[in-house]
Amino acid sequence: MSRKSLAIVARLRRNGTPVNALDILISGIAVAEGASSIATRDMDFLTIAEVVDLDIRLYTRGR
């Protein structure tokens, strides 16, 4: 998990796109556990998806 998260941080830094550390940890856990997607309202995950193979499913409250 930590290695996956560190790889995500490194790729984001190379791109010059900082993202919330907790979102990176969540993404690292998802990748380490073999998840293919994350459902969230947090737009930071779209930035993370640019550097890691995760399908981000955005939703809005009440739908």
Average pLDDT over residues 50-61: 92
> 63 Cβ partners below 8 Å, 6+ apart?
none
pLDDT at residue 53 greater than cutoff 60: yes
Structure confidence at residue 63 as a pLDDT band (50, 70, 90)? low
Q: What is the pLDDT of residue 1?
A: 73
Mean pLDDT of 34-58: 95
Task: Round to whole Å and give the CA distance between 60 and 15.
Answer: 28
**Domain segments of the chain as ranges:** 2-58
Comparison of pLDDT for 8 and 61, the residue scoring more: 8
